[in-house]
Amino acid sequence: MQLSTRHLLGIKELTPSDISLILSTAEQFKEVLQRPVKKVPSLRDVTIVNLFYENSTRTRFSFELAQKRLSADTLNFAASSSSAAKGETLLDTVNNILSMKVDMVVIRHSSSGAPHFLAQHIPAAIVNAGDGINEHPTQALLDAFSITEKYGQLKGRKVAIIGDILHSRVAQSNIHLLNKMGAEVVVCGPPTLIPKHIQSAWNVTVSYDLKETLNWCEVANVLRIQLERQNQVLFSSLREYRLHYGINRQLLDGLQKPITVMHPGPINRGVELDSDVADSHQSIILQQVENGVAVRMAVLYLLSNRNLA
Amino acid sequence: MQPILDTTAYAKAVQQLAIALLERHPNLNNTVLVGIQQGGVVLGWDLVRQLRKESGLQDLEMGLLDITFYRDDFRTSILAPDRMNIPFSIEDKTVILIDDVLFTGRTIKAALDVLLDYGRPGRVELLVLADRKEHRQFPIQADYVALTVSTQRSQKLKLLSAEGGGQTLVLLES
């Protein structure tokens, strides 16, 4: 059993059996994380650089922890404190790092396609940790892992993705993954934040009615309103957004059945999610974060097999 | 495919191992069983059943141990990991490590590495069904062996489930 690809650029590039392999391997890594010694020696001969051209807390920590748990050597790079601030190009930066004998590159970049560009030009294995508004594949994988953990399987699951679909790489990766694994997807949000032809292009259903969507779904994956990516006014105010698309306790209690609430973080409390929803027993937001380490361990482990054999 | 043990001989070998184990550890006090995936787990459960029969101890547990993440050759042969589950503490216990076949010793070396990440056992003993003694690459030997088999390096010794229940041990040419 091995992955069909040398890089993890996006869910788009994975086959359903790749996804299953990653999720089942992650299950074994989750067991590793419960042990007294939460570490295995698998990647002790591998060096990985984390290139973060965009801010991140969860993803960066999660990747770094996954690498340490696999005994890999790691280098961390933050664009703001590096020569990128002096105008060095992405390719120059990476080639310089690679000449120090690095095997894998984890990259987050505000330009969509940056990881794909690197994959074409350098010999290391590339892992996309979020590129612009394109994909965030490890987030979708950990979301899928968390849903599977709770419900047993993805096939036939009813998943709603709610909020800013237009700017969301998390939404895009999740939609690809859920489609490939046979789950049903509804996207819900204000018309201005949902891409026009999404329904025909991606095999999802569009709804503008939050209550109707929540009544339909088993899992609601709520997205963050990405204030840093709004270069035009797509809704009039955060208060208005909250009134129509924010999830509060009263709304959840009024549903026909209890649902599970997910969020990729960071949460805008009181905008897309109220605190008494985010911190309730229906939310698996912190489990998602925990699972993220196991899923990223699986990705790095399987890619190292594929590349360094 | 050359049979080494048929189901009857296999059952007898398991019984022999159970008796030898109980002789050294009456009542299995302070002793835990851990089977190595996958053959060792199959043998392990058969051994647990036999131990229950021989000793009357009903609450015997067995841990499952998988060495995939600890292999020294995982880049040359890619293997998906198996389930790992050690639901009890091994701290200061006598751990009986169970595998179907002892060959180069590399699996056992890796299994010991895994075990030490779970705690500090007081003592570790190795129980195997078959020993391919002449191919050892590491200085490791078993404490309980049902039979020693003379083999070629390229051959494979494998535990197979038989139709109608039970296991057989066969020698495969490759």
**What ipTM does the predicted assembly reach?**
0.79
Choose from B68, B69, B73 for mutation: most chain A CBs within 10 A: B69
Domain count, chain B: 1
- The pairing of strands A104-109 and A47-52 is parallel
How far apart (Å, rounded) are the C-alpha atoms in residues B112 and A101? 32
pLDDT tens per residue across span B102-137: 999 999 999 999 999 999 999 999 999 999 999 999
CATH class entry, domain A137-288: alpha beta
Residues of chain B with pLDDT under 70: 74, 76-78
How far apart (Å, rounded) are the C-alpha atoms in residues A52 and A13? 22
CB–CB contact B82 A28 (8 Å): yes
How far apart (Å, rounded) are the C-alpha atoms in residues B119 and A37? 8
Q: Which residues of B touch A309 (CB under 8 A)?
A: 75-76, 78
What does each C-alpha distance from B135 to B35, B38, B110, B160 come to in angstroms? 22, 21, 17, 22
Task: State residue A93's pLDDT score.
Answer: 86
Q: In this structure, what are the phi and psi dihedrals at residue A272, rounded to the nearest 5 degrees?
A: -80, -25
CATH number, domain with residue B117: 3.40.50.2020
CB-based contact (8 Å) between B88 and chain A?
no
CB–CB contact A28 B83 (8 Å): yes
CB–CB contact B118 A37 (8 Å): yes
The answer to whether position B173 is within a domain reads no
Omega before B50 within 30 of 0, i.e. cis? no
Choose from B117, B118, B120 for mutation: most chain A CBs within 10 A: B117
The answer to whether position B165 is within a domain reads no
Task: State residue A309's pLDDT score.
Answer: 54
Quote helix, strand, coil % in chain A, to nearest 5. Answer: 45, 15, 40
CB-based contact (8 Å) between A25 and chain B?
yes
Q: Which residues of A touch B80 (CB under 8 A)?
A: 1, 21, 24-25
Task: State residue B174's pLDDT score.
Answer: 72
Range of the domain at B38: 8-74+83-151
**Interface size, chain A vs chain B, as Cβ–Cβ contacts under 8 Å:** 48
CB-based contact (8 Å) between A40 and chain B?
yes
Instruction: Tally Cβ neighbours within 10 Å of residue B31.
Output: 18
Residues of chain A with pLDDT under 50: none
The answer to whether position B158 is within a domain reads no
Omega before B3 within 30 of 0, i.e. cis? no
For chain A, give every domain's residue range: 11-135+289-308, 137-288
Q: Which residues of A touch B79 (CB under 8 A)?
A: 1
Task: State residue A281's pLDDT score.
Answer: 95
| CATH tag for A11-135+289-308 (out of 3.40.1410.10, 3.30.360.10, 2.30.130.10, 3.40.50.1370) | 3.40.50.1370
The answer to whether position B134 is within a domain reads yes
